[in-house]
Structure 1
Amino acid sequence: MRLQKTLNKDVFSGLTEVFQSKGYKALILQDLANATGLKKARLYHLFPRGKKEMEKAVL
Structure 2
Amino acid sequence: MEQTGAGFLALPDNPDQDPTLDWREVFGNDQPVEVEIGIGKGRFIIDAASRQPAANFIGVEW
TM > 0.5: no
- The normalised TM-score by structure 1 is 0.28
- The normalised TM-score by structure 2 is 0.27
Higher strand share: 2
Which of structures 1 and 2 has the larger relative contact order (alpha carbons within 8 angstroms, sep 6+)?
1
Higher helix share: 1
